[in-house]
Amino acid sequence: MSRRKIIIDTDPGQDDAVAILLALASPDALDVLGITAVAGNVPLALTAKNARVICELAGKVDVPVFAGCDAPLSRKLVTAEHVHGKTGLDGADLPDPAMPLQDAHAVDFLVDTLRAAPSGSVTLCALGPLTNIAAALTRAPDIAGRVPEIVLMGGAYFEVGNITPAAEFNIYVDPEAADIVMKSGIKLTIMPLDVSHKALTTRPRIEAFRALGTRIGETVAGWTDFFERFDMEKYGHDGAPLHDPTVIAYLLEPDLFTGRHINVEIETGSDLTRGMTVADWWRVTDRPANATFMGGVDADRFFRLLTDRLARL
Ligand code: BDR
Ligand code: CA
């Protein structure tokens, strides 16, 4: 397999952190050109710090980390400390990072990298609100034709919402940015709550992380333990959804997932349903398909892949 070049745009977040570790554990398949931080789960200063904490945990201090937008395109930032804790990475004690943040702004890095690399060679992985990516597309519309695919975690259809009754967090925080991405014409692969609510951190799956007997295994078990408490109370499920690693797992083993190529649009006008992903799952409109919206995952294989890969770090 030739290595796929990716940029990870993210707001870590414990589940973002596991996704980043999965990517960094897979140098045979993925070449992580950089990590761009965006405000989301916690404010930008923390997401930019957390991205570096994670790289250092993985021993990959040469991966450049950039800070991006500190607020949505046209709204006030909404954060999710109630899920992820004050730091965004509550659940494990990790040292402050020594590796520097890059001087360039994340949006400049996205634009410059996409323009410099051969067209079609750099895939974007989006694990948070889509502000940085939408800002890059707005500033440099020419890059849209150079991105072969955006794989993103966001939205929901049958599972509806997790931050409001109608909306999933990443899309809710910056619906205007999501709208720009949905209309970009770029090939989109979406991992909504419909997928992640089937990828649950059950007790045996958390214990499998811990049983790796490594610092990474212990840390991932600590993180998943932490947000499991909150999510189990909320959903009454056996375990909490592990959202963002589905994006990286898709790049490694796409046949873990099933979905439909359909029309997906974003509600930006209504206060009641702000950030809703209106997915034409039953194809009841003639609106053109613009995204592959996933719905199914082989959860046991997904967690096996995750544990096997994390064992390599
Ligand atoms: C998404 O929101 C964040 O809390 C998680 O990191 C994930 O990206 C799930 O709705
Ligand atoms: Ca995230």
Instruction: Provide the 8-state DSSP code for 270.
Output: -
Instruction: Look up residue 128 and give its two tokens.
Output: 């948070």
**pLDDT tens figures, 33-79:** 999 999 999 999 999 999 999 999 999 999 999 999 999 999 999 99
- Which of 83, 153, 197, 230 to mutate to test ligand 1, by most ligand atoms within 8 A of the CB atom? 153
User: How far is the centre of ligand 1, averaged over its atoms, from the C-alpha of 188 (Å)?
Assistant: 18
Ligand 1 contacts CB of residue 243 (under 6 A) = yes
Is position 84 annotated as part of the catalytic site? no
Ligand 2 centre distance from Cα of residue 169 (Å): 9
3-class SS at 292? strand
Confidence (pLDDT) at 12: 98
Nearest ligand 1 atom to the CA of 196 is 9
pLDDT category at 227 given cuts 50, 70, 90 is confident
Q: Please state whether the predicted TM-score (pTM) of the whole model is above 0.95.
A: yes
Nearest ligand 1 atom, CA 13:
6
Catalytic-role residue among 105, 237, 243, 261: 243
Nearest atom, ligand 1, residue 241 CA: 9
- What's the mean per-residue pLDDT of the chain? 96
* Confidence category of residue 1, pLDDT binned at 50, 70, 90: low
Give me the pLDDT at residue 167, please: 98
Under 8 Å CB-to-CB from 145, ≥6 apart: which residues? 119
- Closest to 189 in 3D by CA, of 264, 131, 113, 109: 264
205 CB within 6 A, ligand 1: no
pLDDT number for residue 238: 79
Q: How many CB atoms lie within 10 A of CB 285?
A: 11
Please give the distance, rounded to the nearest whole angstrom, from the Cα atom of residue 244 to the centre of ligand 2. Answer: 6
- Which ligand 1 atom is at minimum distance from the Cα of 11? 6
Contact 57/91 with Cβ under 8 angstroms? no
Task: Please give the share of the chain, as a percent, with pLDDT higher than 70.
Answer: 99
d(CA 247, CA 127): 8
Distance between CA 256 and CA 302 in Å, rounded? 7
Percent of the chain at pLDDT > 90 equals 94
Per-residue pLDDT, averaged over 75-84, amounts to 95
Mutate to test the pocket of ligand 1, among 41, 83, 125, 152 (most ligand atoms within 8 A of CB): 41
153 CB under 6 A from ligand 1? yes
